[in-house]
Amino acid sequence: LALILQLRAARADIYIDDFRDELPAVLLSMILVDSMHTENRGVIRGALLRLYRYLGSDTHNPVGTIFAAHAGSLSLLEAVLPDELTLPKMVKVLCAGKGTLEDLCRLGRRSLTDDDRDVAVGEALDAALALIDPSRSATAPAPDAVAEADVSDSDDDDDDDDDDAAEAEADTDETPTPKLGPREAYVHALRTALTATFDGMIADPDEQEQLLQSIQSYDPLGSRIPTIEEARLMNQGTPGGGGSTAPRATSAGGGGSRTVSRPAMGGGGGGGGGSTISIIRSGTVSARTGGARTPGAGGSPKRSTGGSSLRTGASTTGDTSTPRQTAPPTDAEGKLQVPNVARHELDKTVQSVAIGLNQARKLDERVWLLFADPEFELDDPRKLGEDLVTLDSPAAKAATAMRLAAQQQRVRGILELPQDRRMNGRRFDLEAEAWLNTVANYRREYDADSRQLISLPKMLDYAAGALIRVEAIRAAVEVARDTESAEEITVEVATQRYELLLSDITFLADHGIVDAARARADADAATVLAAVVADAWIERVCTAALDWAGTVIAAGACKSVEALKAFFDSNPITLAAPGEGDAAGAFPDALAADTALGEIVDTLRVHVLQAAWKVLLSQHRPLATAGKLDLNLRRLLRAQARITTRRERHQKNPRIALPVASLERLSGNAALKDLFVRLTTDGKLLFLEDYEDGSFIDVFALRANQKRQMHARARERARDDQTGELQPGSSYLYTVGRTNNPFARSEAEILAACVVDDDGEPVIFDPF
């Protein structure tokens, strides 16, 4: 009891239900580690308490699994590492942030050899790291029947052992070995490694046998503490209110239960008195008193509450069908189906909700934020809408996963939940995280009144709210994309579309959450549709402006500035007037600045930009729109550009200085200041007319020569070829590639448009 209070004090800020979920793994791990030390137990316990406090310092989620992985691994490392690296010292390293468990495991592997014990230790360390990091592969073959046999069968005669081994071998030949999950694989590997490590280390046979029994019965991740109601039902019928006979439950397979003993925390041998800690296991419900072993013949087995069989993950002997992983489709009327749920489908339905929420969280953070708060304000609803209508995008998959969760609304009809006595005002995102962790760690089948399902109706309500937001944004994008008439692109049309789709779900969900989500959904739809209308206007203005500029070029008016101005007077640019809204303001001086592309280019581009600026409103993002139009005008007028050349030497032949210009000057993009293109002697862009369609140009990068001196052979070759020597510290041109898109917005886009070979690498052409 004192230890439990110390553990609770170390994690006083988490809810009591979460603490109760993580306590078995922490408590049983500390008991096991304590039983392996005959000296300095107070120091060991203090180190484990410090480790527990450290692992739980940055999270409100249960840390029982992580603690069990750390405690078991540190016990093995203490046995294989030098004597000065004790468990308390390794805990100190972890808590000080000077290393991680993976670092310590890497150090421990250096001390391992090829014998059986060290191989088992290495496998246990790998399983522990895989348990902490699920991305690692932590599956392992299931333990054989002999290793899993009850320790009470150790007194059987040799003939029975031979028969059992023969039967186990026959079963192995007939049935493929199942794979264990990360939890089961870790527990099995740790038992094997600890048994191989501590076998024969204790002189007293009784103490040695007791330690090995403690190791073999160690199962922290398949244990949990019952609720008050479950404990009361377990103790019903026990003589004297819980006397000498401990209540037990039959295993899922229907056989008799087993009980195991563990040494008490304070002593090395069999314990004396002490309070009873009841721990429900995945397969058994055993009660431990003091540390004494409960007789196998005492008391009659009791079945679990509600008649549901206990679950053991992949090895459950009951219904092993997997939960639905795909959302039910729409019906003939275009509505999302809400399937009926029978009592025997409760477990699969709960798993479907958890799977849907977990997948949504993993695939797209925006969809998860809408679930955590149906009134969450999105930064860019239009971007989410475009992602939602993109086939197989993460956002589209996350929306499908949210459908899977929200469509399980009819499970409410079979729930008989107890009164919710939890603290009011708890943040829903924390409650959702805790509920998903509970479902992931729960090893039994659910009953209609299971305490673990108290949060399920709330999960369904918030999933419905998130789905309203998601489908409203999707509907707005689809309406704008599919509707030809601008008058039909309205919020009402989008609302009607998503309301029809979700009518069966919203009818069953909480109306307060649904109404709040609807208000935000309509606002999102209005934002998306306004952005679509604005983009359509921007596209219309830019297209008309570029077409007029093309007319100027085709008319031959770009021969001189005077010819341009005469064309402006005789053929003025006419752009349609915008609707109602705030004007864009004064024309920016930066757009009218000299670009060094020549007076003809600047005169024409400024004239077009000023005309376009007058028909842009504030909702049309005038500065960004004008910048995009400016880039397209530069691309269109590239043949009319007259650029002041600068000469740079190429690293392949430093004797010749090439006329080049920076792409920053060409495109107005400062990010391209280190890239250059080649010019003619009169300042025109040197497009390679004899290559492909004549639209390609070589791109160079200006880099400093970092070599301090030139190799003797290279210097001699440079003299013979008359190419010149590279001077240390000087900058030279290096060919990057040949592209047909020098007006791209970034270096990555330019390189993506370069000519590549069969291996996808840019082809480097000889500039000479």
Q: What is the DSSP string of 367-418?
A: HHHHHH-TT---S-HHHHHHHHTSTT-HHHHHHHHHHHHHTTGGGGGG--PP
Q: Could you tell me which residues come within 8 angstroms of residue 146 by beta carbon, excluding any fewer than 6 positions away?
A: 164, 165, 168
> What's the total number of domains in the chain?
6
pLDDT at residue 635 tops 60:
yes
In this structure, are 9 and 47 located in the same domain? Answer: yes
What's the one-letter identity of residue 591?
L
Residue 216 near residue 153 (C-beta atoms within 8 A): no
- Does residue 472 have a pLDDT over 60? yes
> In this structure, are 395 and 510 located in the same domain?
yes
Please check whether residue 439 lies inside any domain of the structure.
Answer: yes
pTM comes to 0.47
- Region 70-92: mean pLDDT is 86
- Domain shared by 352 and 213, yes or no: no
Residue 255 has pLDDT above 50, yes or no: no
Torsion angle of alpha carbons 716, 717, 720, 724, nearest 10°? Answer: -90
674 falls in which pLDDT band (50, 70, 90)?
A: confident
- 408 is a domain residue: yes
| One domain, residues 196 and 116 | yes
> By C-alpha distance, which of 311, 354, 306, 235 is closest to 451?
306
Verify that 448 and 593 share a domain, yes or no: no
pLDDT score, position 459: 93
Does position 24 have pLDDT exceeding 70, yes or no? yes
In this structure, are residues 29 and 22 in contact, taking their beta carbons and an 8 Å threshold? Answer: no
The verdict on residue 144 lying in a domain is: no
CB atoms near residue 746 (< 10 Å): 11
CA distances (Å), 652 to each of 302, 661, 764, in order? 87, 19, 12
| Residues 379, 490 within the same domain | yes
Q: Is pLDDT at 166 greater than 80 in this prediction?
A: no
Mean of all residue pLDDT scores within the chain: 75
> Which has more confidence, 49 or 315?
49
Give the integer Cα–Cα distance in Å for 227 and 285. 13
For tokens 């209540």, the residue is 247
Residue 721: what pLDDT?
A: 55
Residue 549 domain flag: no
Residue 303: inside a domain: no
Residue 527 has pLDDT above 90, yes or no: no
Least confident of 106-120, 152-166, 404-418, 464-478: 152-166
Question: Is 298 part of a structural domain of the chain?
Answer: no
Do 21 and 44 fall within a single domain? yes
- pLDDT for residue 279 is more than 60: no
Note whether 491 and 583 are same-domain residues: no
With beta carbons less than 8 A apart as the criterion, state whether 644 and 601 touch: no
In this structure, the answer to whether residues 109 and 168 fall within a common structural domain is no
Q: What residue type is assigned to position 192 of the chain?
A: T
Give 709-758 pLDDT, tens digit per residue. Answer: 455 555 555 555 555 566 666 788 888 888 887 777 777 888 888 888 88
Question: Same domain for 285 and 375?
Answer: no
The secondary structure of 141-202 as a DSSP string is BPPPTTTTS-GGGGGS-HHHHHHHHHHHHHHHHHSPPPBP-HHHHHHHHHHHHHHHHHTT--
Q: What is the pLDDT of residue 301?
A: 34
Q: Give the H/E segment covering residue 545.
A: helix 511-554
Q: Residue 728: what pLDDT?
A: 66
Mean pLDDT value across residues 123-149 = 61
Per-residue pLDDT tens for 387-437?
888 888 999 999 999 999 999 999 988 888 887 776 666 788 888 888 998
Least confident of 320-334, 368-382, 558-572, 661-675: 320-334
More confident residue, 222 or 71: 71
In terms of domains, do 450 and 479 share one? yes
Strands 285-289 and 276-281: antiparallel
The pLDDT of residue 266 is 40
Q: Could you give the percent of the chain with pLDDT greater than 70?
A: 77
At 579-623, the pLDDT tens digits run 777 777 788 888 888 777 788 888 888 899 988 888 888 778 888
Amino acid at site 689: E
Q: Does the pLDDT value for residue 355 go beyond 90?
A: yes
Residue 762 placed within a domain: no
Give a yes or no: residue 679 inside a domain: yes
Q: Under a CB-based contact definition with an 8 Å cutoff, are residues 655 and 724 in contact?
A: yes
Kindly state whether residues 727 and 716 are assigned to the same domain. Answer: yes
Note down the domain range covering 563. Answer: 555-640
Taking residues 7-26, report their average pLDDT. 84
Render the burial of 578-590: b for 16+ CB within 10 Å, e for the rest: beeeeebeebeee
Identify the band that residue 11 occupies on the pLDDT scale cut at 50, 70 and 90: confident
Lowest mean pLDDT among 252-256, 326-330, 434-438, 585-589: 252-256
- pLDDT reported for residue 253: 35
**Residues 247, 235 contacting (CB under 8 angstroms):** yes
- Residue 155: per-residue pLDDT: 43
Indicate if the alpha-carbon torsion angle 498, 502, 507, 513 is positive or negative.
negative
Comparison of pLDDT for 690 and 203, the residue scoring more: 690
CA 648 to chain centre: 48
